[in-house]
Structure 1
Amino acid sequence: MRIASTKKIHAGTILAQTIYNENGVVLIKKGMRLTDKLLRRLLNNGITYIYIEDGTTPDIEVDQTIPDKLRLEATNMIKDTFIELKNAGLGQRSYILDKRSKELTNVVEQILSNIQENEKSLSLLADIFVSDNYVFQHSLNVTIYSLAIGVELNYSTKQLTEIGVGAMLHDIGKMFIDPAILQKPDKLSDEEFEIIKGHTQVGYDYLRKHQYMPTVISHCAYQHHERLDGSGYPRGIQGEEIHTYAKVIGIADVFDAVTSSRVYRDAMLPHEGLEILYAGAVNLFDKEMIEAFKRSVVAYPNGLTIELSDGRIGVVIRQNINLCDRPVVRILEESGKPVANPYEVNLERTVNVTVKDVLVD
């Protein structure tokens, strides 16, 4: 199988990875031949990239980052909790979080255990779930990425549990924002953007009222948009004034935001998301944390077609642990011509060759 841009796929292409909705119901099953109608359905649901069957890559496998059962359990936990909180409103203190704190912690511990037991780097590109609300899937993805950074930085179990719950609830304030503004497909006005920015204050004020939530959890909601140079919000604090957990969640938040499809733009590929983070290293984000994140995620997922610096073209077939940008590539074309007998190049060992470009058309 290989990765292809949904916009570039023609009718008749065979889907190689089942697509589910947020309740675990199969929307399009692996092995189906895609019609124009199904392709429009994928695009309308914000699916920018999918895995398709390909004669040159039938043996390529995609590692599942989080088991489907656990992902669905976590997503539904977040969804049910957030909706209950929204329905209860901000007017009075709700005991929903107090009641659900143990369940949230349990889900975080399961995700953490899965990450710690799996030595392979994370690639959520293969976990294709269609959700009615971006906030739910985003909250789960940010939790996964934040825990991966924390594991790489050798945080204690207590710290990892706290940062996991903090990441899961970091956007809780968005549930109290007008959906018409939150999901607006056009450019936000200055007034609307200020309303969106207010989710950090709303989330903080809400979470700090709950006795079973450590204070640091509310600061995750409050500070995850703060930046090292003071250019963030809501307070414009900088450097060591920002809580460590918020720095980690801020990195995971940006990466998932740019690598997820939104109503106003297509998703970027993982290597593009990493480039954005590196552009902000030192000034915006903690460099050590970004390095830890780089060791934790896959920049060039299995099945991605790439061009190497020497002009050869191939498909990523395997990853090298802790070397997200140096995968194993099956060469399919060189000097502009197809290779009669495809062969492998391990970029971990071939240090004079780098990835020049990604080809998904």
Structure 2
Amino acid sequence: MKLVNTNLINPGEILAQTVHNDNGVVLIREGITLTEKILARLIKQGITYLYIKDKLTDDIKAEPVISNKLRSDATKMMKDIFYEIQENGLVGRAFILDNSKKKLSIVVNQILEEIQSNKKSFSLLTDIFITDNYVFQHSLNVAIYSLAIGVELNYSSKMLTEIGIGAMLHDIGKMFISPEILNKPGRLSEEEYETMKSHTVLGFEFLRKQADLPTVVSHCAYQHHERLDGSGYPRGIKDDDIHPYGKLIGIADVFDAVTSNRVYREAMLPHEGLEILYAGAVRLFDKNMVEAFKNSIIIYPNGITVLLSNKSEGIVVRQNENLCDRPVIRVMKENTYTLSTPYDLDLGKVTNVTIVDVNLDGN
């Protein structure tokens, strides 16, 4: 199978990976023929990339980072918590004071188990979901990315649990923002943007009053938009004044924001999202954390078509451990000439060839 931009898929192609909603329900099953109507609906719902069948790459697999059941269970739990808090308001005792911490801790530990049992880099690009609320999937994705960074940095179990819970709740303040602003499909006005930025303070004020939660969790909500050079918000603090969890979750937050499917813009690819982080390394983001993140993710996912420095073109077959930017490529073309017999090129062994670009037009 190969990964193709949904806008560039021709009707008649066969879907190679099932599309779910965030409750785990199958919406479009693997093997279905993609019609113009189905493609239009997927594009309208913000699905930027799809896997399609391809005879020459039938052996390529894209494994989900976490199981569909864990993803749907975690999403449902967050919906319950977030909506309960929204209904009770900032002064309400809310559901979170009762048994939510225990549920959050269980889910965080389950995610950690799945990340650590794989012992491989991962890509959330391969998890194709349609969601009715971006905040929930974003919060879960940020938790997954944050935990992966924490594992790479050898954080303790206690720290990983705090980071996981903090990441899941980092955007809880958005539940106190007007839905008209929160769900606006286009660019926010200056006034609306200032209102949106207040979610950091609103989340902090709510979470710091919750006796059942570690104090650092509230600072995850408060500081995930702060930057090392003081250009962030809400306080514009710098460097060591920012809690390490805030720095870490800020990296995961930015990466997921730019690489997620949104109705009003196409998602960036992982290597493009990573470029944004590296462009801000030292000035905006902690360089060691960015490096740890790079070591945790797949930059060029299985099934993506890449252009090589030797004028060849091929599809990523599998990953090389600890060499995130040097996977194994099935070379399909050389100097624009389509090969009758494609061959696999291991960039982990062939050091004089590099990936220079990607091609997602499906041809």
Q: Could you tell me which residue of structure 2 aligns to residue 112 of structure 1?
A: 112
Verify the 8 A CA contact 2:65 2:127 in the aligned structure 1: yes
Counterpart AA for 2:101: S
Secondary structure of 1:328's aligned partner: strand
Shift of 1:95: 4.5
Verify the 8 A CA contact 1:309 1:354 in the aligned structure 2: yes
Secondary structure of 2:122's aligned partner: coil
Verify the 8 A CA contact 1:81 1:97 in the aligned structure 2: no
The 5-angstrom pairing of residues 88-237 of structure 1 reads: 88-237=88-237
Counterpart AA for 1:303: G
Verify the 8 A CA contact 1:98 1:210 in the aligned structure 2: no
CA distance in 1, matches of 2:334, 2:68: 38
CA distance in 1, matches of 2:112, 2:273: 23
Shift of 1:44: 1.1
CA distance in 2, matches of 1:95, 1:355: 49
CA distance in 2, matches of 1:330, 1:188: 43
Secondary structure of 1:56's aligned partner: helix
Secondary structure of 2:55's aligned partner: coil
Identity over aligned residues, as a percent? Answer: 63
CA distance in 1, matches of 2:127, 2:336: 33
Verify the 8 A CA contact 1:131 1:137 in the aligned structure 2: yes
Secondary structure of 2:303's aligned partner: coil
Secondary structure of 1:326's aligned partner: strand
Secondary structure of 1:290's aligned partner: helix
Shift of 1:91: 3.2
Secondary structure of 1:252's aligned partner: helix
Is structure 2 residue 323 aligned with structure 1 residue 323? yes
Q: Could you tell me which residue of structure 2 aligns to residue 353 of structure 1?
A: 353
CA distance in 2, matches of 1:283, 1:337: 44
CA distance in 2, matches of 1:76, 1:150: 24
- Deviation string 1:188-207 (CA, Å, 9 cap, x unpaired) is 11110000000000000000
Counterpart AA for 1:305: T
Q: Could you tell me which residue of structure 1 aligns to residue 256 of structure 2?
A: 256
C-alpha distance 75-95 of structure 1, shift in aligned 2 (>3 A): closer
Q: Could you tell me which residue of structure 2 aligns to residue 14 of structure 1?
A: 14
| Structure ranking higher on relative contact order (CA contacts 8 Å, 6+ apart) | 2
Which structure 2 residue ranges, 5 or more long, are not aligned?
none
Secondary structure of 1:138's aligned partner: helix
Shift of 1:355: 0.6
Q: Could you tell me which residue of structure 1 aligns to residue 341 of structure 2?
A: 341
Secondary structure of 1:23's aligned partner: coil
The 5-angstrom pairing of residues 62-73 of structure 1 reads: 62-73=62-73
CA distance in 1, matches of 2:47, 2:96: 33
The 5-angstrom pairing of residues 49-68 of structure 1 reads: 49-68=49-68
Aligned residues: 361
CA RMSD of aligned residues (A): 0.9
Verify the 8 A CA contact 1:184 1:263 in the aligned structure 2: no
C-alpha distance 12-97 of structure 1, shift in aligned 2 (>3 A): farther
Which structure 1 residue ranges, 5 or more long, are not aligned?
none
Verify the 8 A CA contact 1:183 1:263 in the aligned structure 2: no
TM-score by length of 1: 0.98
Secondary structure of 1:340's aligned partner: strand
